[in-house]
């Protein structure tokens, strides 16, 4: 015959569980009443490790650190490297050789003129300076740096004067007056004479506005040997 299950039959694997639970609860279904503890409570004695914890200067199992030592910063070994910004790129500038004394009388290779006249003649007014500058750039070797510099700068100066003179002439033709063109011719003539005098005296004469065209003439005009 199959046993009837009750509310205490929570474990179907143990058939005696319900019977044992009913015996423990009694007839009324109430368990044993909890009995009060008689007597006052007593303090449990402190263990050895608690005594060491209460006295911070005793030989405790842990080590005590001062506040100053904890606040001190530890130097980091991962120090990022410092990089200096790269220098900005600057194109090579074609500057005039420093002249510390008057041009000498030695003959310049390729043309047979003295160094003084080879440096002065490229600034001659009118078209004489243009012809001399071209001859020197074609015939004078690269090692004659001072002579080639003044020849290239003189040629660039004559080209600039020719361009500006043409512009003034066009403006004069439109406006019907040539006063501007005439004043410019006088100013250009005076500037060329001043350039010849400065170079003859050995003074540095570098026109900044003509640096790039002068460098181009010096680099591209030369005698090509076959």
Q: What is the pLDDT of residues 182-202, one digit of tens each?
A: 999 999 999 999 999 999 999
pTM for the predicted model, two decimal places: 0.56
Where does the chain show beta strands of DSSP type E? Answer: none
Mean pLDDT of 29-55: 57
Confidence check: pLDDT of 82 > 80: no
pLDDT range class, residue 68, cuts 50, 70, 90: low
Q: In the chain, how many domains are there?
A: 1
Lowest-pLDDT range, 113-122, 157-166, 215-224? Answer: 215-224
Question: Is residue 57, in this structure, part of any structural domain at all?
Answer: no
Distance (Å, whole) CA 149 – CA 204: 12
Mean pLDDT of 93-99: 52
Cα-based distances in Å from 92 to 89, 142, 175, 213, 221: 10, 17, 43, 14, 19
* Higher pLDDT among residues 143 and 60, named by residue: 143
Q: What per-residue string of b and e applies to 22-55 under the rule 16 or more CB within 10 Å gives b?
A: eeeeeeeeeeeeeeeeeeeeeeeeeeeeeeeeee
pLDDT range class, residue 67, cuts 50, 70, 90: low
Question: Is residue 225, in this structure, part of any structural domain at all?
Answer: no
pLDDT range class, residue 23, cuts 50, 70, 90: low
Question: Is residue 166, in this structure, part of any structural domain at all?
Answer: yes
pLDDT range class, residue 12, cuts 50, 70, 90: low
Distance (Å, whole) CA 42 – CA 188: 121
**115, 146 in Cβ contact below 8 A?**
yes
pLDDT recorded at residue 225: 65
Question: Is residue 193, in this structure, part of any structural domain at all?
Answer: yes
Question: Is residue 67, in this structure, part of any structural domain at all?
Answer: no
Question: Is residue 43, in this structure, part of any structural domain at all?
Answer: no
Question: Is residue 84, in this structure, part of any structural domain at all?
Answer: no
Contacting residues for 223 by C-beta, under 8 A, at least 6 apart: 110, 138, 139
**213, 159 in Cβ contact below 8 A?**
yes
Question: Is residue 58, in this structure, part of any structural domain at all?
Answer: no
Domain that holds residue 215: 115-220
């Amino acid at each position: 015959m199959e046993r009837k299950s009750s509310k205490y039959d929570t474990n179907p694997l143990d058939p005696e569980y319900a019977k044992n639970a009913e015996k423990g609860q009694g007839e009324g279904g109430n368990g044993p009443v909890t009995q009060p503890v008689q007597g006052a409570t007593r303090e449990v004695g402190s263990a050895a490790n608690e005594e060491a914890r209460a006295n911070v200067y005793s030989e405790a199992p842990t080590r005590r650190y001062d506040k100053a030592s904890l606040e001190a910063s530890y130097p980091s070994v991962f120090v990022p490297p410092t990089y200096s910004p790269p220098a900005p790129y600057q194109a090579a500038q074609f500057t005039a050789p420093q002249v510390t004394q008057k041009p000498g009388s030695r003959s310049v290779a390729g043309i047979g003129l003295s160094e003084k006249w080879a440096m002065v003649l490229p600034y001659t007014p009118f078209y004489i300076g243009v012809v001399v500058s071209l001859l020197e750039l074609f015939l004078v070797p690269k090692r004659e740096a001072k002579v080639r510099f003044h020849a290239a700068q003189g040629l660039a100066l004559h080209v600039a004067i020719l361009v500006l003179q043409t512009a003034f002439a066009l403006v004069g033709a439109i406006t019907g007056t040539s006063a501007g063109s005439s004043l410019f011719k006088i100013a250009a003539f005076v500037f060329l004479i001043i350039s010849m005098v400065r170079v003859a005296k050995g003074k540095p004469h570098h026109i900044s506005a003509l640096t790039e065209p002068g460098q181009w003439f010096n680099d591209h005009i030369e005698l090509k040997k076959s």
